[in-house]
């Protein structure tokens, strides 16, 4: 079998593990050939490719990024895009294409499948927001990077008695913020799932500092939003693909908190550091499993399917079922954010008696 592979959307630690896993499975186990297209669909449309073999993939497992390069270009944005994809299939004698990407890339794959192409999807994103898979590779690496940063920020925040706002990625959902907030012991975590009230955030900070605490770490997802009418945010700029360029809520928050509370506040935006560098072991393993499973799906003719992690097992789900709705943070985890935040008078926590709440009041 001849299999095309490409990586699309933002890069992500673990992409090279997918490529290596797919190539090793194809070449060594299933006597198949893998054609790698550079920079996602741009490479398919421009015939920019390389043949991938076990030798080419030696040493790439611990490498961040993707050896194939990536882009947000896709065939439906071009009048002759589909024609060019068809030409690539014929020219390379392809039997399948494995597309590795985020929710946007999966939507493109679903449409290509509808157009008759033999497609298999592999979900990727540090944001961990793709439905029907419990985890995407890259996420654990991003969480570890954020947690390490928060650990460091604790000591400087405490020395200076400051509020430190840490802005992390998470365009539509707060998986990275929630996990790293819990792991790093943040006092307050703000996520897109639950618009925040700046007045209440400041009240919690003041209350905490009044009771002898000397520093506060706040983790905020880049896509977190204030409750309507509570705080002005500037309109974000757009990139050339129509995505909002996020990043900035951290500095706005730090300014607002300092202005309202009088407590010195600073901000650190972790930005693309979260996406760079070597994947942690979990992401290498998940990437490898996904790469192998994608080749096996192609060999089985499981077109239009996406490989996914469910209850520790690799399964296949229709790509069309995985797109359209993002995977939000579990209510169980969001509850921890609320439980661990500095308390203010009037807080209620379902299931916890009021006298106990008073005893553990932060």
Ligand X SMILES: Nc1ncnc2c1ncn2[C@@H]1O[C@H](COP(=O)(O)OP(=O)(O)OP(=O)(O)O)[C@@H](O)[C@H]1O
Ligand Y SMILES: O=P(O)(O)OC[C@H]1O[C@](O)(CO)[C@@H](O)[C@@H]1O
- Contacts to ligand Y by CB under 6 A: 9-10, 102, 125-127, 169-171, 222, 246, 275
| Separation CA 96–CA 299 (nearest Å) | 9
Angstrom CA distances, 228 to 88, 232, 233, 334, stand at: 48, 9, 10, 21
Angle at 226 between CA 170 and CA 123, to 5 degrees: 15
Residue 246, contacted partner among ligand Y, ligand X, Mg ion, none, CB below 5-8 A by kind: ligand Y
Answer yes or no whether residue 66 interacts with ligand X by CB under 6 A. no
Phi-psi category of 213—alpha, beta or left, where left has phi over 0 and alpha has psi -120 to 50?
beta
Residues 71-130 that bind Mg ion (CB under 5 A): 102-104
Q: Which is nearer to ligand Y, 149 or 187 (CB)?
A: 149
Q: State how far the Cα of 202 lies from the Cα of 212, in Å rounded to an integer.
A: 16
76's contact among ligand Y, ligand X, Mg ion, none, with CB below 5 to 8 A by partner kind, is ligand X
With residues binned 3-state (H G I as helix, E B as strand, rest as coil), the percentages for the chain, rounded to 5, are: 40, 20, 40
DSSP classification of residue 193: T
User: Tokens standing for 169?
Assistant: 């990625």
Q: Which residues are annotated as a binding site?
A: 10, 72-73, 102-105, 125-127, 162, 169-171, 222, 266, 272-275
Closer to Mg ion by Cβ: residue 198 or 246? 246
Residue 103 interacts with ligand X (CB under 6 A): yes or no: yes
Binding to ligand X, residues 8-47 (CB under 6 A): 8-10
State how far the Cα of 208 lies from the Cα of 187, in Å rounded to an integer. Answer: 9
Q: CB 81 → ligand X: shortest distance, Å?
A: 10
Q: Which of 127, 197, 300, 362 is catalytic?
A: 127
CB of 237 to ligand X, least distance (A): 16
Q: What is the chain's length? A: 362
Annotated binding site for Mg(2+): 103
Q: Decide whether 101 or 279 has the Cβ nearer to ligand X.
A: 101
The binding site for substrate comprises 125-127, 162, 169-171, 222, 266, 272-275
User: Which of 30, 76, 282, 303 touches ligand X by CB under 6 A?
Assistant: 76
Task: Report yes or no: 249 and 216 within 8 Å, Cβ to Cβ.
Answer: no
127 is catalytic: yes
Query: Site residues for ligand X, window 121-140 (CB under 6 A)?
Result: 125, 127
The window from 2-10, 85-93, 156-164, 331-339 that contacts ligand X (CB under 6 A) reads 2-10
What is the nearest approach in angstroms of ligand Y to the Cβ of residue 358? Answer: 39
Q: Which residues are catalytic?
A: 127
Residues lying near ligand X in the complex (CB under 6 A): 8-10, 72, 74, 76, 101-105, 107-108, 111, 125, 127, 241
Residues lying near Mg ion in the complex (CB under 5 A): 102-104
């Amino acid at each position: 079998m001849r299999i095309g592979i490409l990586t699309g959307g933002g890069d992500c630690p673990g992409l090279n593990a997918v490529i290596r896993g797919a190539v090793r499975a194809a070449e060594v186990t299933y006597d198949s050939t893998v054609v790698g297209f550079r920079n996602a669909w741009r490479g398919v449309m421009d015939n920019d490719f390389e043949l991938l073999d076990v030798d080419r993939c030696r040493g790439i497992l611990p490498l961040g990024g993707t050896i194939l390069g990536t882009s947000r270009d896709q065939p439906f944005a071009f009048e002759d895009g589909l024609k060019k994809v068809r030409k690539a299939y014929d020219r390379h004698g392809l039997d399948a294409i494995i597309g590795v990407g985020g929710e946007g890339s999966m939507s493109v794959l679903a449409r290509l499948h509808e157009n008759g192409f033999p497609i298999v999807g592999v979900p990727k994103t540090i944001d961990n927001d793709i439905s029907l898979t419990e985890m995407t590779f890259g996420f654990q690496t991003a969480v570890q990077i954020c947690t390490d940063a928060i650990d460091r920020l604790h000591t400087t925040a405490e020395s200076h008695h400051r509020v430190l706002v840490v802005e992390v990625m998470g365009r539509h959902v707060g998986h990275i913020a929630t996990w790293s907030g819990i792991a790093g012991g943040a006092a307050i975590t703000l996520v897109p799932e639950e618009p925040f009230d700046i007045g209440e955030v400041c009240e919690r900070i003041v209350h905490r500092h009044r009771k002898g605490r000397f520093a506060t770490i706040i983790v905020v997802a880049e896509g977190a939003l204030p409750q309507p009418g509570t705080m002005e945010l500037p309109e974000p700029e757009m990139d050339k693909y129509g995505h909002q360029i996020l990043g900035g809520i951290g500095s706005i928050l730090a300014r607002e908190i300092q202005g309202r509370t009088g407590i010195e506040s600073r901000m650190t935006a972790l930005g693309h550091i979260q996406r760079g560098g070597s994947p942690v072991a979990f992401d290498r393993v998940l990437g490898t499993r996904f790469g192998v499973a994608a080749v096996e799906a192609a060999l089985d003719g499981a077109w239009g399917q996406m490989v996914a992690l469910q209850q520790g097992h690799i399964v296949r789900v229709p790509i069309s079922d995985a797109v359209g709705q993002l995977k939000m943070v579990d209510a169980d985890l969001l509850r921890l954010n609320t439980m661990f935040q500095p308390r203010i008078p009037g807080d209620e926590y379902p299931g916890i008696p009021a006298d106990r709440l008073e005893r553990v009041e932060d």
